[in-house]
Amino acid sequence: GENVEQHPSTLSVQEGDSAVIKCTYSDSASNYFPWYKQELGKRPQLIIDIRSNVGEKKDQRIAVTLNKTAKHFSLHITETQPEDSAVYFCAASRGGNQFYFGTGTSLTVIP
Amino acid sequence: EPEVTQTPSHQVTQMGQEVILRCVPISNHLYFYWYRQILGQKVEFLVSFYNNEISEKSEIFDDQFSVERPDGSNFTLKIRSTKLEDSAMYFCASSVFRDRGFGELFFGEGSRLTVL
């Protein structure tokens, strides 16, 4: 089955700096890569996703890049704000039912 | 905005007891899921459900687990005889497929199960 690795497990940045979280996957058939944000005590929520026919996608301060050859994808958050502090999970899917999640990155933005 | 709701938010049970976790998916969604998250670990897939039957399940979802959609709105996860290692946060999720099978997962707030 698919194996998704995520790094780093914790990340602290100063407010205004950028944050980058990286994931690798093992199944070359995976073609959909969402990112979820989970604030403390709350449910995971989708923040951005990318499909395998696209190399990069941007939504305001958040961007995701995908390298299919190397089987890795990354989340980039620019101009970080304290409200970006949360746990971020990457996931990979073949476009069917099963989503494989990474181990999560706890991001702390220091004011 | 429609949400996935789960009950109970927290359940404490004795080892060997049966537990039922309940979920109400978003009403127009077609696929339903259970995931679990052991404290500090990754979110793990348990099972997906479509058209009143299991469509995929993981190795974690053994004979002790079952799912049911008893009445067209609720979606339940039953653990027949709980073990200590079943202690985790259980998330229900639902999705509606669009664009050739890609669908956002909408998660509930989770049910924390503690097995003593």
Which candidate from A46, A89, A98 shows the least CB-CB separation from B104?
A46
Whether A54 has its CB under 8 Å from any CB of chain B: the answer is no
State residue A49's pLDDT score.
92
Q: Can you list the pairs that A6-9 forms with residues at least 24 positions away whose Cβ atoms lie under 8 Å?
A: A6/A89, A6/A90, A6/A102, A6/A103, A6/A104, A6/A105, A7/A105, A8/A105, A9/A103, A9/A104, A9/A105, A9/A106
**Residues in chain B whose Cβ is within 8 Å of chain A:** 4, 31, 33, 35, 41-45, 48, 50, 55-56, 58, 91, 100-102, 104-105, 107-110
Q: Find out whether the peptide bond into A8 is cis, omega within 30 degrees of 0.
A: yes
A5-18 per-position pLDDT tens digit? 999 999 999 999 99
Beta bridge partners of B107: B93
Of the pLDDT bands very low, low, confident and very high (cuts 50, 70, 90), residue B99 is very low
Minimum distance, in Å, between the CA of residue A44 and any CA atom of chain B = 6
Greatest CA separation for chain B:
45
Give start and end residues of each alpha helix (H) in B15-98: none
B48, B100, B102 ranked by CB distance to A98: nearest: B48
Q: What is the mean pLDDT of residues A10-39?
A: 95
pLDDT of residue B41: 83
- Whole-number Å distance between alpha carbons of A44 and A24: 20
Percent of chain A residues topping a pLDDT of 70: 97
